[in-house]
Amino acid sequence: MLKAGLGIGRGFALDRYDGFGLPIVLGAEHRLTDKFTAYANVTSALQLVHGRASRYETFIRRGVVKLGGRYYYNQAGRMQHNRPVGPFIGNYLALQASTDLVPYRGIYDARTYLLYDYSAVSALWGMQRRLGNALLCDFSAGIGLMNQLRRRFNQIDYTFSSYRPLQLLPELNLHVSLAR
């Protein structure tokens, strides 16, 4: 199944500082068995309205690449209660790996580069439902571990050191997509 739509999750921004970023989500989900699927999503938050952050802002606010697997559970129970069942429909548990990329534009360079920000591994609970024939709604929530960069300033020798400690990453996602 191929999906293209809008989503709220990592990379979504709406405030005076950041402006407004429209999160475009492109994805694919492949059925492995009756209950297991593998999926890949790419989210790119496009900057529609600029805030006051910087005159060097880019059109792309953030990119997120996600790969994972889903286990759809309780399909028989859904069928007994006359709820829709089928491939890619129902409640699921997921394990996903993701990488966040941020844009960078130099002062004297007109090109934009996507730089590595952090990686994460997350466990999610979610539900995916059809809205009519063409639309698909996917909601998920969970927790993960990320390795976001931290910098420390040493006041003795006036140097910076960088490190990537593991930190908790709450996940909350809502995607509404055209699905085929």
The whole-angstrom separation of Cα 178 and Cα 27 is 10
Q: CA-based Rg of the chain, rounded to a whole angstrom?
A: 19
pLDDT at 9: 79
* Verdict on whether the full-model pTM lies above 0.75: yes
Confidence band, pLDDT 50/70/90 cuts, at residue 154: confident
What the block records as the tokens of 14 is: 């709406």
Domain at 37, CATH number? 2.40.160
Question: 68-97 pLDDT, tens per residue?
Answer: 999 999 888 888 888 877 778 999 999 999
- Span 34-48, mean pLDDT? 88
More confident residue, 123 or 7: 123
Counting the structural domains of the chain, the total is: 1
Domain limits at 102? 2-179
Q: 166 exposed, middle or buried (CB, 10 Å; 0-12, 13-18, 19+)?
A: exposed
Q: What is the mean pLDDT of the chain?
A: 85
